[in-house]
Structure 1
Amino acid sequence: MATDDIKDTVEYSEDVKVDEKQNISQHEGIPRPEDLKQDMALQTGEADHELRERERKLLWKIDLRLLPTLSVMYLLASLDRGNIGNARLGGLEADLHLEGNDFYNALSIFYAGYVLCQIPSNLMVKTMRPSRWIGITMTLWGVCSTCMAATKNASGLFAARFFLGCFETGIGPSAPLILSFWYRREEMSSRLAVFLGSSTVAGAFGGALAYAVLGHLQGAQGLSAWRWLFIIEGLPTICLGLLAFVILPDYPASAGKRWLSPEEKELAIQRGASAFNTDTSNFDLRQVKAALLDYKNWLTALVYTGLNAPLASFTSFLPTIVKTLGFTNLQAQLLTIPPYIAACFYLGIMCYLSDKLKQRALFIIIVSMTGTLGYMFLLIGNNVALQYLGACFAAMGLYPLIPLTLSWISNNQLGHSKRAVALAMANTMSQTLSVLGTQIYKTQDAPAYRPGHAICLAFTCLTWGTALVLRYFLKKENASKDKQYGVPGEIDEKHFVGAEDMYDKHPGFRYIL
């Protein structure tokens, strides 16, 4: 019953006397309309508070189960992908008799495998349980990483790196999709920051671990120290891959009773519906077509491409770049740590503010401009301090872009299959350009590496420039929907009826800018 009609529906008995001056009923058993309104408002407020409290506890449970597991997985993936740069300073090239562009080709072939398996991997998450797919691929990439310790020549290194790239698609592109099953749009960036921020921890930890291994295990058991580096970083990956079958949850609808109560499970499903996660785990070809024909997905992929080409070179060549500033091999390993620490803190701040303000493009632009400044310092710097500061700014201008851009892509897709394809499109396009990133820091350009720095600077400009253009189009489409359908209020069930057929053209859906 509407509170405005309460006064009209209350029937007063004949013996009730009303003091019209004070408008106070003399009969204590009959509530006044004003009191009923206040009581209902209080009850509504209490219900909202109770729902928020239930949701807060549920989020805490989801965070504790999902984020540590996925973050450690991505940390290990980043270690296994980037440790070849540390191994290079430990004598890998000499021991494997690499010549000419062999080392650069070993870097590039990783991304060839990564690109080939991007879309198939994301579609496998849709057809298999995520825990099974990630468990299988993680175990296999751990095997590939460990096997790099046994390589004897360039061909063996190429084969191991290619399959490492194939199997690492099981966590990198797939995890943002899995997180979107559990979190609302405004919650994604901070969660992706925790997940993807582990790559900065991997960079810092990898430098410290390489310093310890290369400094103390040379010749142990007859093996070169760089071989021990691959073994020590590969075996934990295999172990965690096997555990993933048990510890990693799949979808809200399939959550076990030991983890979520029936009430919590229902709330998780309702949260997914209110976040426009409307479809089932079945693969939908219509959504694939919708994703491929959406020009906004191609623009977002271009944003992501602008960060991945310099990121690929930064990860693999930072130890080499630092060494050319005048440091020894071991000193260079240690000095790779501060840029990653700076990037980690910057990532957390930017992603927190992005979620709080519900803005993506603004922070993508700010971060990528930080990277532009960093590469300017590296390009024109004439002293060690300024160039090292440039390396720190470059890291700060690259790593935060990963969660910001992926959350932007995920936020602006309605439907699991469409979201899966959009994420795979961005990753495929960007990782294709990552092949270029592995080839731009040539030995003959040392020690200044000006061509490489200039190319990376151009890519950072591409990122913030494309983000500006995309934001303009998204704002324009939101305004068009507001004009046609009105500004949407709080989302309830009627807003997402039919959403699986209309995708993000649904009247109740608005793009995150």
Structure 2
Amino acid sequence: MDYGLWIMDFGLWIMDYGFWILDYGSNKNMLENIKTKTSDLKQDINISIAEVSESNLNPVNNIDNEKLIHSHKLSKKLKWKVNLMILPFFMVTYFLQFLDKTLLNYASIMGIKKNLVGNEFSNLGTIFYVSYIAAEPFSAFIIQKIPAGRFLGFSITCWGIVVACHAATTSYVGLMIVRVLLGIFEAPVAPCLIIISSKWFTKPEQARRTFFWYAQTGIAQIVGSLMSFGFQHVHHTKIASWQIMFIFMGAITVIVGILVFILLPDNPLECKFLSEDEKMEVVEHIKENQTGIEDRSYKFHQVKELLLEKETWVMFFIIILSATNGGGLTVFSSQIMKTFGFSNEISALVQMPGAFFLIASTFVCCYLPSYTGQRSLMIAAVTIPTILGAALYMGLPNSNKVGKLFGVYLLNFNGAVIASIYAWNSANTAGYTKKNARNAMTLIAFCIGNIIGPQIFRAEDAPLYKPAKIIILAFLAAAFVLSIILRYFVRSENKRRDILTANYTEEEKNKDVLMLDLTDRENLNFRYAY
């Protein structure tokens, strides 16, 4: 465990980044070096020299193989350098994404619902994820074609502008428009983070690093609750307090987006803050992933392979079933708290303890698998307290407010399921196109769950929302069963591969496939983390 990460000084990365130069074409002069120093590899994979041309090479192929050292482990100094270059951007980005999209929840008790009737507020929560789904395939394709770091920075800047624009409208139609745009520009975030993470960290490291950025959902809940409480005490202004809140967060997000666009390194070989030897050291370090680094060509056979895998669809439905719970809480948690008799101000504050449950469960799900390898069991494990929370919230009488409130807090364990799945995707998917496609499917399933979530909280069922409670409980139980099935599928595949490769020579087992862009199915030496 990298204990030093707990005391990271966020001021250091600003000092380290002062001399960034946006330059994507600087690697062309290495073309001839590649042709001479990778000739042995080309013979092994039956690719002729004629097939390697300036048109089909990209910067990440420019590797001096003579500098690669096997069984490599990063020095402590370089590990710190990489962590400080990558993690602060990941953490701030995910913090803002979650906070910005959930401002609607806090604004619901600050006056934004004044001009809304019936299920219109639920529709505002749903339409965000409808546009998110629509944008996800396009985002995956764009990530394949341009540097993920630049695309991420552009998206953050755009959604910051949209967040500020929430303050300019109070009508249902106007709010629907800005929610659609917000969904479009937030769609690339998680895929970009997962893709960039896989280029910098090994599988165990990816799981641990996922905790640091995904746990920001809990931090965002705490900050959002405090911010809502504070802005509710802003009076005697020409615009409403919720409008000031949207403008404030929009401005901060735009600034962060510009910094990410300029400073976030996309992969080790394009990083301006590493020496050539350090670049090779990082590349050698991640070779054990057997997932490759990057390939700009879009390979449809990798998408087909993904769609034909039974594990893909088991995971797809786990995400939908789990995200339905989160979708409801994200939009309606403030109003649920009001049903316990709290004032608007206190309703904002009492949501904070749930964030600590989310952070704790995310820590367990991201750190334990990096040492035990038990990813699917972690998904099942965190579903159990979530089921208990749903049962308490549904089954206890209204007079037992403490018990019902504790049940709502337990529902926050569900957030760790998505964190586990992000780490699972990063560790268990090889092939650049396939990785992008899997991330897109994950986000599509996540959006479907979040579309369903607000809709099960119907206006006519308020304030108890009994049908919603029953649906959430049933969905969580089904997700638990599917996570056990997923473990069985993946474990069986590993055993099958052990049999097929039992007679492999050491040379065949250790063959370097870093630059071949093989999928996990094509590379029999690949083993799934289950």
Tell me the distance in 1 between the aligned counterparts of 2:410 and 2:195: 29
Distance 1:464 1:227, change over 3 A: same
- Tell me whether 1:479 sits opposite 2:495 in the alignment: yes
Pick from 124, 137, 159: which aligns with 2:155?
137
Distance 1:491 1:239, change over 3 A: farther
- Tell me whether 1:150 sits opposite 2:168 in the alignment: yes
The Cα of 1:498 is off from its aligned counterpart by: 8.5
* 1:181-200 correspondence to structure 2 within 5 Å: 181-200=199-218
- Tell me whether 1:303 sits opposite 2:321 in the alignment: no
Tell me the distance in 1 between the aligned counterparts of 2:70 and 2:291: 24
Equivalent in the alignment of 1:275: 289
Equivalent in the alignment of 1:316: 331
Equivalent in the alignment of 1:117: 135
Tell me the distance in 1 between the aligned counterparts of 2:282 and 2:125: 41
- Tell me whether 1:423 sits opposite 2:445 in the alignment: no
Summarize deviations over 1:441-499 as a string: whole Å, max 9, x none: 12332232221111111221222111111111111111111112129989975153786
SS of the residue aligned with 2:188?
A: coil
- Tell me whether 1:503 sits opposite 2:520 in the alignment: yes
- Tell me whether 1:92 sits opposite 2:106 in the alignment: no
Distance 1:491 1:447, change over 3 A: farther
Distance 1:75 1:502, change over 3 A: closer
The answer to whether the 8 Å contact 2:291/2:514 transfers is no
The answer to whether the 8 Å contact 1:117/1:166 transfers is yes
Tell me the distance in 2 between the aligned counterparts of 1:179 and 1:492: 25
Pick from 73, 79, 82: which aligns with 2:99?
79
Equivalent in the alignment of 2:376: 361
Summarize deviations over 1:341-390 as a string: whole Å, max 9, x none: 22112211332112111110111100011111111110012211101110
Tell me the distance in 1 between the aligned counterparts of 2:309 and 2:79: 32
Tell me the distance in 2 between the aligned counterparts of 1:378 and 1:491: 55
Tell me the distance in 1 between the aligned counterparts of 2:170 and 2:381: 45
Equivalent in the alignment of 1:27: none
Tell me the distance in 1 between the aligned counterparts of 2:517 and 2:246: 45
Distance 1:438 1:502, change over 3 A: closer
Amino acid of the structure 2 residue aligned with 1:270: E
Distance 1:497 1:268, change over 3 A: closer
SS of the residue aligned with 1:366?
A: helix
Summarize deviations over 1:71-123 as a string: whole Å, max 9, x none: 111111111100101101011111xx211211111111100110011121122
The answer to whether the 8 Å contact 2:429/2:519 transfers is no
Tell me the distance in 1 between the aligned counterparts of 2:507 and 2:356: 39
Equivalent in the alignment of 2:275: 261
Tell me the distance in 1 between the aligned counterparts of 2:76 and 2:378: 26
Tell me the distance in 1 between the aligned counterparts of 2:514 and 2:297: 19
Amino acid of the structure 2 residue aligned with 1:409: N
Amino acid of the structure 2 residue aligned with 1:273: K
The Cα of 1:205 is off from its aligned counterpart by: 0.8
Equivalent in the alignment of 1:24: none
Amino acid of the structure 2 residue aligned with 1:242: I
Tell me the distance in 1 between the aligned counterparts of 2:438 and 2:488: 20
Amino acid of the structure 2 residue aligned with 1:509: F
Equivalent in the alignment of 1:339: 354
The answer to whether the 8 Å contact 2:195/2:435 transfers is yes
Tell me the distance in 1 between the aligned counterparts of 2:196 and 2:496: 31
Pick from 171, 176, 187: which aligns with 1:169?
187
Distance 1:458 1:56, change over 3 A: farther
Tell me the distance in 1 between the aligned counterparts of 2:290 and 2:514: 10
Tell me the distance in 1 between the aligned counterparts of 2:71 and 2:509: 18
Distance 1:376 1:73, change over 3 A: same
Tell me the distance in 2 between the aligned counterparts of 1:251 and 1:491: 28
Q: Report the TM-score, using the length of structure 1 for normalisation.
A: 0.85
The answer to whether the 8 Å contact 2:293/2:515 transfers is no
The Cα of 1:187 is off from its aligned counterpart by: 1.6
The answer to whether the 8 Å contact 1:440/1:451 transfers is yes
Distance 1:386 1:144, change over 3 A: same
Tell me the distance in 1 between the aligned counterparts of 2:80 and 2:181: 36
Tell me the distance in 2 between the aligned counterparts of 1:93 and 1:194: 34
Distance 1:388 1:497, change over 3 A: closer
Tell me the distance in 2 between the aligned counterparts of 1:314 and 1:283: 40
What is the identity percentage for the equivalent residue pairs of Structure 1 and Structure 2?
Answer: 27
SS of the residue aligned with 2:215?
A: helix
Amino acid of the structure 2 residue aligned with 1:292: L
Equivalences, count:
458
- Tell me whether 1:293 sits opposite 2:313 in the alignment: no
Tell me the distance in 1 between the aligned counterparts of 2:395 and 2:116: 32
Distance 1:255 1:469, change over 3 A: same
SS of the residue aligned with 1:507?
A: coil
Distance 1:273 1:492, change over 3 A: farther
The Cα of 1:51 is off from its aligned counterpart by: 4.7
Q: Which has the larger radius of gyration?
A: 1
Tell me the distance in 2 between the aligned counterparts of 1:269 and 1:499: 14
Compute the RMSD of aligned alpha carbons. 2.1
Equivalent in the alignment of 2:12: none
Tell me the distance in 2 between the aligned counterparts of 1:179 and 1:70: 9
Pick from 420, 426, 429: which aligns with 1:413?
429
SS of the residue aligned with 2:232?
A: helix
Distance 1:451 1:269, change over 3 A: same
Tell me the distance in 2 between the aligned counterparts of 1:93 and 1:386: 29
The Cα of 1:211 is off from its aligned counterpart by: 0.3
SS of the residue aligned with 1:327?
A: coil
Distance 1:511 1:491, change over 3 A: farther
The answer to whether the 8 Å contact 2:144/2:298 transfers is no
Tell me the distance in 2 between the aligned counterparts of 1:115 and 1:313: 17
Tell me the distance in 2 between the aligned counterparts of 1:163 and 1:445: 30
The Cα of 1:152 is off from its aligned counterpart by: 3.0
The answer to whether the 8 Å contact 2:214/2:419 transfers is yes
Summarize deviations over 1:375-427 as a string: whole Å, max 9, x none: 1110012211101110111002x111121111112211111211110111121
- Tell me whether 1:224 sits opposite 2:240 in the alignment: yes
The answer to whether the 8 Å contact 1:85/1:317 transfers is yes
Tell me the distance in 2 between the aligned counterparts of 1:240 and 1:224: 25
